[in-house]
Amino acid sequence: MPKQEYSAENITILEGLDAVRIRPGMYIGSTGVKGLHHILWEIVDNAIDEAANGHANSIIVTLHKDGSASVRDNGRGIPTDINSKMGISGVEVVFTQLHAGGKFNENNYSFSGGLHGVGASVTNALSEWLKVEVYRDTIHKISFHSYFDKEKEKFMCGIPESHLIDTKEKTQEKGTLVHFKPDAAVFDSVLFNFETVSKRLKELAFLNKGLAITLLDERVPEDRQPIAIHYQFDGGLYDFAIYLNEGKTPLYKEPIGYKVEKDGILIEFVLQHTDEFTESTFSFVNNIPTPEGGYHETGFKAGLTKALNDIARTSGLLKEKESNLMGEDFREGLTAILTIKMKNVQFEGQTKTKLGNAEARSPIENAVIEGLQTLAQNQDFKIIFEQIIKKAQAAAKARLAAKQAKDIARAGKSIENITLVGKLWGCTGKRVELNELFIVEGNSAGGTAKKARMRQTQAILPLRGKPLNVEKKKIEQVLANEEIRTIISALGAGYGSAFSIDDLKYHKVIILADADQDGMHIRCILLTFFYRYMRKLITNGNLYIGLPPLYKVYKKDHIEYAYDDNELQEKIEIVGRGYQIQRYKGLGEMSEEQLWETTMDPKRRNLIQVCIEDAIGAERMVTALMGNRVEARKEFLAEKANFNKVDNFMNKITI
């Protein structure tokens, strides 16, 4: 890696900060909570870069009582010397010039993340104030603030109160401190979320082996100590894999991995198989999660399949006359982390979290082949590869056995849903983008929904019993379950790796279950099924949870519905004296008019869209909730689940 002495001289300069104030969304995505956290990540990213380049080993993030946040690293400190083009210090340039920074200089080997690496000046532009201290022999300080200039009748943002001051105060410390207060006039909310911050810092600690990251939350009552969390993983990605596999049974004790640089791309991967049947790969580009995948994941998977088939042949486990195993066989029960660092990253996809750089594919494929071949030649790893291959062979066997069941499901699809007769009440409309499928708990509620629905666009699929809990089940067991088969053929888009979102017959798939424990269980089972076998349905935004009301508050002809306990109080006040309350124990208790008004009418109903913002959280939760480890499930439910509040649960799964 070329290393070069860096000074304020080589900073490239593009434009001023007003642009950021005018269109914050263009720089930070949104002015919601995501955007708020984004301006913190900009600063954290710079500290992480400094650590990744080997100059810092500790980062402290503090959430202060007054709503401000600070980030401290023990690196070289942002350059304090004067940039000759600008005539001001490097620090001042970094915080006042858009796109200023070492990152944009070709000679400087640095990869940055964010949306995407727009820089610290964006944080400054969107803050009420921002203060920087640089510790380099002496302490250097500079402060910026935003205000309305009455004379100019103009909003001024990120304006330095003076140039960088060398206080001449001696210091033994090294590094940079950036302290800022997000501007409440910019963001919908200026409250940093502890969970969001700690989760991301933990992820960064896994991705940056050995780096000590501390999170302090000072926003606690006067008499309490600040909350302090410390993350440091000397095993890096290996620790990450072990963490992801908590609650599962690994096939071999230590994860295996490889790290290499190929064609200017830094590539590292770690993997460990468990006795589960599904696969979870987590990929990152420049420390940013890429849940939508992309060329790096394609290369990774191709490499894995090729290398493991080769190893299976040379080891004699795969005979000459036997055909190659398929990628999905090798990925059964696989937990993998792939992280790459490269320049000129192109993000694509629905949420801009898919790597679009085609040139990344083959270096990664080659790295995986090289890595696995190297490991396989080592006697210590011989047994591990044997276990991986044997598991894949078992998977292949199951796959072939499942083909039969698959054919049945396919037949169901082509012969106009023969298997569904008497079950699915289809809709008459032909425009799939308008069509909705309600998966309804229970035959009687299904019957009510059938009468209540709008026939043209709303189809009803009643579930008689509980569908199968698919976690821990082999594919052929999953397919043997009638309820599951019915869902697959009703949606018409296949399942698993063959799932094709383009064939989906309903653009809204709505789960409608009672607001009680049984209903919660059914929701969990269905979510697990969709998460494991039709994930695209979730990532594409097609899956919803319908929320039936919990109460009817009424007096004579005046009826109000309440969807939770808080709302109940409001509705009681609206109806006024003499009100009566009916608590709905299930969907089946509602008349067709009531079900229509409260739960099915697109104008009045409450739907929650299921999404996976945090795939790692989702993975761990699905394992905990639906796996066969009873203690893990009990612990999780005791900690998180509140059976009365459906949306509470969903917020958790809207991870």
- Residues with a known catalytic role: 441, 514, 516, 518
Q: Is 548 in the site for ligand 1YM (CB under 6 A)?
A: no
Beta carbon of residue 136, minimum distance to ligand 1YM (angstroms, whole number): 9
Beta carbon of residue 180, minimum distance to ligand 1YM (angstroms, whole number): 10
- Strands of 161-310, DSSP E: 165-182, 212-217, 227-231, 256-262, 265-273, 280-285, 288-289
Q: Is 117 in the site for ligand 1YM (CB under 6 A)?
A: no
Q: Is 75 in the site for ligand 1YM (CB under 6 A)?
A: yes
DSSP state of 323: P
Among 24, 35, 102, 496, binds ligand 1YM (CB under 6 A): 102
Q: Is 108 in the site for ligand 1YM (CB under 6 A)?
A: yes
Cβ burial of 317 (10 Å; 0-12, 13-18, 19+) is middle
Q: Which is nearer to ligand 1YM, 121 or 272 (CB)?
A: 121
Q: Is 76 in the site for ligand 1YM (CB under 6 A)?
A: yes
Q: Which of residues 341-360 bind ligand 1YM (CB under 6 A)?
A: none
Q: Is 47 in the site for ligand 1YM (CB under 6 A)?
A: yes
Q: Is 560 in the site for ligand 1YM (CB under 6 A)?
A: no
Among 42, 50, 514, 619, binds ligand 1YM (CB under 6 A): 50
Which residues, 6 or more positions from 246, have their beta carbon under 8 angstroms from its beta carbon?
620
- The closest alpha carbon to 164, from 136, 205, 125, belongs to 136
Beta carbon of residue 7, minimum distance to ligand 1YM (angstroms, whole number): 8
Distance CA 87, CA 326 (A): 61
The one segment of 39-47, 260-268, 566-574, 624-632 that binds ligand 1YM by CB under 6 A: 39-47
Beta carbon of residue 72, minimum distance to ligand 1YM (angstroms, whole number): 6
Among 40, 94, 126, 478, binds ligand 1YM (CB under 6 A): 94
- The closest alpha carbon to 228, from 262, 188, 257, 201, belongs to 201
Residue corresponding to tokens 């992820």: 203
Q: Is 90 in the site for ligand 1YM (CB under 6 A)?
A: yes
424 φ/ψ angles, rounded to the nearest 5 degrees: -90, 130
Q: Is 6 in the site for ligand 1YM (CB under 6 A)?
A: yes
Beta carbon of residue 259, minimum distance to ligand 1YM (angstroms, whole number): 23
Q: Where are the alpha helices (DSSP H) in 474-516?
A: 475-480, 482-491
The per-type count for the chain, helices as H runs and strands as E runs, is 21, 24
Number of residues that bind ligand 1YM (CB under 6 A): 21
Beta carbon of residue 131, minimum distance to ligand 1YM (angstroms, whole number): 11
Q: Is 101 in the site for ligand 1YM (CB under 6 A)?
A: yes
DSSP string covering 22-45: H-HHHHHS-SSHHHHHHHHHHHHH
**What number of CA atoms fall less than 13 Å from residue 73's CA on the CB side?**
21
Q: Would you mind telling me the total number of residues written for the chain in this entry?
A: 655
DSSP state of 588: G
The one segment of 68-76, 145-153, 254-262, 277-285 that binds ligand 1YM by CB under 6 A: 68-76
Beta carbon of residue 163, minimum distance to ligand 1YM (angstroms, whole number): 15
Beta carbon of residue 96, minimum distance to ligand 1YM (angstroms, whole number): 12
Q: 21 has which bridge partners?
A: none
Q: Is 78 in the site for ligand 1YM (CB under 6 A)?
A: yes
Q: Which of residues 147-206 bind ligand 1YM (CB under 6 A)?
A: 176, 178
Among 36, 71, 475, 550, binds ligand 1YM (CB under 6 A): 71
Distance CA 201, CA 287 (A): 11
Q: Which is nearer to ligand 1YM, 53 or 458 (CB)?
A: 53
Distance CA 176, CA 47 (A): 8
**Other C-beta atoms within 10 Å of 589: how many?**
17
DSSP state of 255: -
Instruction: Give the DSSP H or E segment for 201.
Output: helix 194-207
Distance CA 227, CA 241 (A): 27
Beta carbon of residue 314, minimum distance to ligand 1YM (angstroms, whole number): 45
Q: Which is nearer to ligand 1YM, 11 or 468 (CB)?
A: 11
Q: Which is nearer to ligand 1YM, 166 or 370 (CB)?
A: 166
Among 38, 68, 73, 392, binds ligand 1YM (CB under 6 A): 73
Residue corresponding to tokens 């499942």: 402
Q: Which is nearer to ligand 1YM, 10 or 539 (CB)?
A: 10
What are the Cα distances from residue 239, in Å, to 199, 261, 470, 618?
Answer: 15, 21, 28, 18
Q: Which is nearer to ligand 1YM, 101 or 467 (CB)?
A: 101
Q: Which is nearer to ligand 1YM, 55 or 536 (CB)?
A: 55
Among 27, 39, 69, 79, binds ligand 1YM (CB under 6 A): 79
Q: Is 509 in the site for ligand 1YM (CB under 6 A)?
A: no
Q: Where are the alpha helices (DSSP H) in 343-471?
A: 361-376, 382-414, 443-452
**Other C-beta atoms within 10 Å of 566: how many?**
10
Q: Is 43 in the site for ligand 1YM (CB under 6 A)?
A: yes
Q: Is 46 in the site for ligand 1YM (CB under 6 A)?
A: yes
Q: Which is nearer to ligand 1YM, 200 or 620 (CB)?
A: 200
Asked whether the bond before 140 is cis by omega within 30 degrees of 0, the reply is no
**Other C-beta atoms within 10 Å of 139: how many?**
18
Instruction: Give the DSSP H or E segment for 558.
Output: strand 558-562
Beta carbon of residue 290, minimum distance to ligand 1YM (angstroms, whole number): 24
Among 110, 286, 357, 366, binds ligand 1YM (CB under 6 A): 110
Beta carbon of residue 71, minimum distance to ligand 1YM (angstroms, whole number): 4
The one segment of 70-78, 182-190, 257-265, 378-386 that binds ligand 1YM by CB under 6 A: 70-78
Residue nearest to ligand 1YM (CB): 102
Q: Is 11 in the site for ligand 1YM (CB under 6 A)?
A: yes
The one segment of 42-50, 225-233, 449-457, 518-526 that binds ligand 1YM by CB under 6 A: 42-50
Residue corresponding to tokens 């949420």: 351
Tell me if 354 sits within 8 A of 295, measured CB to CB.
no
Distance CA 415, CA 392 (A): 33
| Residue 304 token pair | 């894995």
Q: Is 549 in the site for ligand 1YM (CB under 6 A)?
A: no
Q: C-alpha dihedral over 5, 208, 257, 354, to 10 degrees? A: -90
Distance CA 110, CA 438 (A): 50
Beta carbon of residue 47, minimum distance to ligand 1YM (angstroms, whole number): 4
> Residue 100 corresponds to which amino acid?
A
Q: Which residues bind ligand 1YM (CB under 6 A)?
A: 6, 11, 43, 46-47, 50, 71, 73, 75-79, 90, 94, 101-102, 108, 110, 176, 178
